[in-house]
Amino acid sequence: MEPDAIVLRSRINLGFAVDTDEGLKVVVVRDADRFGLVELAEAFERLARAAIDNTATPDDLTGQTFTISNIGALGGGHGTPIIPLGTTAIVSIGRATQEPVVEDGELSVGVVAPVDLSYDHRVIDGGLGQRFLSGLIGALESP
C-alpha cells in the first residue's frame, strides 16, 4: 500500500491514546460501534491496562480508524492533534477547568474543556468535520 493511499474500511476501530512509561501507545477497540458505553469503557480499561503493563499485543495497538487523545489527563489544554497514519481523524480533549459561563442569560460557574479535531481533508470536508465536532460537543454537554 502506498503511504498516501486512502483505504476504505468497513469497520469502526476506535483508538485511544494511553500514556505509558514507554511513551504514548494507542490501544484499539475493534468494532467499537457495536459496543454500548459501559462495554466500550470496559474494553478501553482492559486494553489501557495491557498497554501500561506492556502486555498489549500488536493487534491491540494497530488498526484504528479514528483516535481519541485525552491530553487533559496530562494537564494539556488545546492541542493540534496529528492524524495517525492509516486513520481518518483524531480528536483531543483538553483539561477541564471551572470557568464563568452564561446559560439562559445567567452567569454561573461551569466546567469547560477544549475539544480539537484534525481530519484528512481528502476524506472529510470542512463542513462535515465541523458538524461532527459540534455534535460531539453537544453530546458531551448533555446531562
**Alpha-carbon distance values, 10 to 30, 39, 40, 114 (Å):** 11, 21, 19, 30
Q: Which cell is 6 given?
A: 486512502
78 belongs to the catalytic site: no
Dihedrals phi, psi of 32, to nearest 5 degrees: -60, -25
The residue from 36, 100, 121, 126 that is catalytic is 121
**Alpha-carbon distance values, 102 to 74, 78, 111, 113, 133 (Å):** 28, 21, 12, 15, 21
- Please identify every residue annotated as catalytic: 121
